Amino acid sequence: MLNKGNASESICRVCGYSDGSIRWEYFEGVLYSQFLICDCCGAESGYEDCLLTAIQNYRREWLESGTKWFCQKSKPENWNLEKQLAHIPDDYK
């Protein structure tokens, strides 16, 4: 299991985006995926972000294909890719 912090996660492991929704819920010692699709990169928690290699592959493909938003209307007007990527926890880089 990738999560070492024993805490729920709201930041996308792939792209660093967060709207505050819980993607992985930590409850009584177990981490549960909420199967949330990221508005930004389109990765689904519990599906595309379970393994570090899968996270890195998905991220590379997303970056190489032009960082298209899965849900265009969620994209902030002043969106900054570099700042968002900086939010990715070290364990998932």
Interface residues with Zn ion (CB under 5 A) are: 12, 14-15, 17, 38, 40-41
> Smaller CB distance to Zn ion: residue 25 or 42?
42
Q: Rounded CA gap, 90 and 67, in Å? A: 20
> Smaller CB distance to Zn ion: residue 14 or 92?
14
Beta strands in the chain (DSSP E): 24-27, 30-33
Return phi, psi of residue 46, to 5°: 85, -5
> Smaller CB distance to Zn ion: residue 9 or 12?
12
CB of 59 to Zn ion, least distance (A): 8
